Structure 1
Amino acid sequence: MYITDEYKAAEGRYDNAADFYKRVGRSGLKLPKVSLGLWHNFGSKDNVDNMKQLLFTAFDHGITHFDLANNYGPANGTAEENFGHIFAKNMRAYRDEIIVSTKAGYTMWDGPYGDWGSRKYLIASLDQSLMRMGLDYVDIFYHHRMDPETPIEETILALDQIVRSGKALYVGISNYNGERAAEAMKIAKEIHLPLIINQNRYSILDRTIEENGLKKYAGESGMGIICFSPLAQGMLSEKYLHGIPDDSRVARDGRFLHASDINPEKLEAIQKLADIAKRRGQTLPQMALAWDLKDQEITSVLIGASKPSQIIENISAVENTVFTDEELREIDEIAGSVMGKLDPRRHV
């Protein structure tokens, strides 16, 4: 059964389950290798009918994981509200086929209790998120960023209380480096908390998790990684190779990617990457997603989309995630030309 007649062409949603779903680290949970993030295009200024088509297209093509956060919008909370309205009307019957994740850690409301990683904030924020989405529980609840002041024990014990209350099945951390992830996992293992996943930025043009030890630690500890911004906020989408389109994120939003980021050096590098993708029989965004998914440590990549066709194109990335040594060397050289020289020991 499919959500709308329009997508009955997607019959056999799970026919390729063995290839499309991957276990999260050493846990029992599996995620699709491509997940849909609602960071953009689900806020108060966006079109609700388009949101529906994005969600329906994703689900009817096998994407079972939808990722949110308390502050996604704009305005804060509106992505959860919009998802909740669509879910209640069109998707509730599929709840047991769906993974919903949300987060708390960035500023959500005024005053001393609406930010960071205290027990007070995390539990209150999740209660608000569940109310906005009309859900009894989320499948994964993340602490969204490291807190330099709150003891990590307090944060992890708050996550433990959330799981024991039944408001989340699993928990994760986001934007943690390797050292803090190890501290969090040590406590989680002692109390048998299902802390199973990291969510971090990772792309051909952003290797931070290689440099800060997170990727290496995740592989050693059995913690999964889900990557956000795998297309470098759209720079690896091909849309900027011939200027800044009126409907692009830079033109419409500009909070996270600026026109100044699209400089001639980066455009030259992106064109070279697009040439490699073409030789591989892929579009540049497909290759960029495949590049993340090539590594065993990576469970899933989070895509954003403004059009249903982008979702369908991106899903095809899973069909070829194998790279030759020469391709990897060439990609590193191109990336290094705009990022600075890459440490050859980063994969060790």
Structure 2
Amino acid sequence: MFTPAPERYDSMTYRRCGRSGLDLPAIALGLWQNFGESNPYATQRDIVLRAVDRGITHIDLANNYGPPPGSAEKHFGRMLAEDLAGLRDELVISTKAGYDMWPGPYGNGGSRKYLLASLDQSLERMGLDYVDLFYSHRFDDTTPLRETLGALKTAVDSGRALYAGISSYSAERTREAFEIADEIGLDILVHQPSYSMLNRWVEQGEPSLLDVLGETGTGAVVFSPLAQGMLTNKYLDGVPEGSRAARGGSLRREFLEESTLENIRALNEIAARRGQTLAQMAIAWVLRDPRVTTALVGASSVAQLEDSVRALDNLEFTEDELAQIDHHAVDAGINIWAPRSSDL
């Protein structure tokens, strides 16, 4: 059985999630990539346990994380049983449903049938009676939003989730969701959007999504702050063989066109002048906005996780630094979630 470091809460920064009573770590660990069957379980375990030792209390999953779908929850469930059983009440565990999960008409979307069945399956895979946070993973324009939010309310009212959240909803749909939630008596704790120096959609529009979250007192747990690894030193000289971009999938080689690489190299130089890695500056940058509660990071190794956590050593930016960053922090067309969610 794992024995956590006694000083694990001393160096982590915690932020209140909107106007709720819940504090979340400024950096959380997401199991989207690297926690399926294609990665060694021992490495996955080392990353998660080191995260706990570093005061990362929030572990984020979804029903379809893997590959194959469900395997990340299954592996994390094993860690809960074998290593973290005595720490359950110190953890905030989240999962989601909304994307493809099983064949047929009831394994995708925002219907009540799919969301609640998926939640039950997630609980079984992780060996839990409840999750702390259950998300609608995306807006589904084929299902009444009242039905989707009603399913989240049922999840909370039944004790299968303590809190409810939404992910990748546009500012307009988020405002609509809050109106319906107020009518049905549902509290939406948090929104989980993508956000990085190369993907700034949450700042755009009148009002922007960040404006809506600030007005409603809703927390923001932002995912992909490193733009799926583009905002690291890995791609400064192009696409290395064996990298995620070279393998294809969610990070596409065409995202790394020369104009984008030039901006990434310039941002790397700014980070170096700050005494940070590019990844550390990218995380600090999304956390600069007080409406952002948490930066949700992935990791393929303990060393990568440690690098991300060290972003907390320098979260302050001068006005000159922010102006320099703004010149190179331009949209790179990498918001792959927009056509199925935030654009709707």
> Normalising by the residue count of structure 2, what TM-score does the alignment of the two structures yield?
0.92
Partner secondary structure for residue 290 of structure 2: coil
Cα deviation, residue 230, structure 1: 0.3
Aligned-pair identity in percent equals 52
SS of alignment partner, residue 102 of structure 2: coil
After superposition, residues 29-108 of structure 1 pair within 5 angstroms as 29-108=22-101
Structure 2 partner of 1:269: 263
Task: State whether structure 2 residue 155 is matched by structure 1 residue 162.
Answer: yes
AA at the equivalent of 1:162 = A
Partner of 1:229: 224
Residues 1:217 and 2:212 are matched in the alignment = yes
Cα distance in 1 for partners of 2:252, 2:150 equals 39
Question: What is residue 289 of structure 1 aligned with on the other side?
Answer: 283
Match of 1:135 among 116, 128, 131: 128
1:197 aligns with 2:190: yes
Which residue does the alignment assign to 1:259? 253
Q: Say which of 307, 313, 319 aligns to 1:325.
A: 319
Q: Which amino acid aligns with 1:239?
A: K
How far is 1:337 from its partner?
8.2
Give distance in 2, aligned partners of 1:71 and 1:103: 8
Within 5 A, what are the aligned runs for 1:6-21?
Answer: 11-16=6-11, 20-21=13-14
Matches of 2:174 and 2:330, distance apart in 1: 27
Secondary structure of the residue aligned to 1:219 is: helix
- Distance in 1 (CA, whole Å) between partners of 2:166 and 2:263 is 32
| Contact 1:290–1:321 (CA under 8 A) maintained in structure 2 | yes
CA distance in 1, matches of 2:330, 2:92: 36
Counterpart-to-counterpart distance in 2, 1:303 and 1:47:
19
Does the 8 A contact of 1:3 with 1:60 survive in 2? Answer: no
Equivalent residue for 2:336?
A: none
Further displaced range: 323-332 or 285-294: 323-332
Contact 2:255/2:332, CA 8 A, preserved across alignment: no
Whole-Å separation in 2 of the counterparts to 1:39 and 1:230:
13
1:106-142 deviation per Cα after TM superposition (whole angstroms, max 9, x unaligned): 0111111111111111100000000011111000000
> What's the CA shift for 1:263?
2.1
* C-alpha contact 2:238 2:261 (8 A) present in aligned 1: no
Q: Is the 8 Å Cα contact of residues 269 and 338 (structure 1) preserved in structure 2?
A: no
Q: Which amino acid aligns with 2:83?
A: N
CA distance in 2, matches of 1:225, 1:195: 11
Q: Which runs of 5+ in 1 are unaligned?
A: 340-348
SS in 2 for 1:239: helix
- 1:237-293 CA-partner distances (Å, limit 9, x unpaired): 111113333452223x42111222222222211111011111111110000000000
Matched position secondary structure for 2:234:
coil
**Structure 2 residue aligned with 1:343:** none
Amino acid at match of 2:122: S
Deviation of 1:190 after TM superposition, in Å, equals: 3.2
Aligned equivalents of 1:263 and 1:198: distance in 2? Answer: 30
State the distance in 2 between where 1:27 and 1:260 align. Answer: 41
Q: Does the residue aligned with 1:102 lie in a helix, a strand or coil?
A: strand
Letter in 1 for 2:96: K
Alpha-carbon RMSD across the aligned residues, in angstroms, is 1.6
Aligned AA (1:218): L
1:250 aligned residue (225, 245, 248)? 245
After alignment, is 26-35 or 311-320 more displaced?
Answer: 311-320
Which residue matches 2:338?
A: none
Separation in 1, partners of 2:45, 2:330 = 39
8 A Cα contact 2:30 2:60, kept in partner: yes
* Change in 2 beyond 3 A, CA 1:337/1:300: closer
Q: Does 1:298 align with 2:307?
A: no
Counterpart among 93, 111, 116 of residue 109 in structure 2: 116
1:215 Cα offset (Å): 1.1
Structure 2 residue aligned with 1:346: none
Name structure 2 gaps, 5 residues minimum: 334-344
Residue 217 of structure 1 aligns with an amino acid whose one-letter code is V
Aligned residues: 331
Q: Decide whether the 8 Å contact of 2:198 with 2:331 is kept in 1.
A: no
Q: Which residue of 1 aligns with 2:342?
A: none
Partners of 2:39 and 2:256 in 1: CA distance: 25
Q: TM-score, normalised by structure 1?
A: 0.91
Letter in 2 for 1:137: Y
Q: Retained in 1: the 8 A contact 2:101–2:108?
A: yes
How far residue 312 of structure 1 moved from its aligned partner, in angstroms, is: 1.1
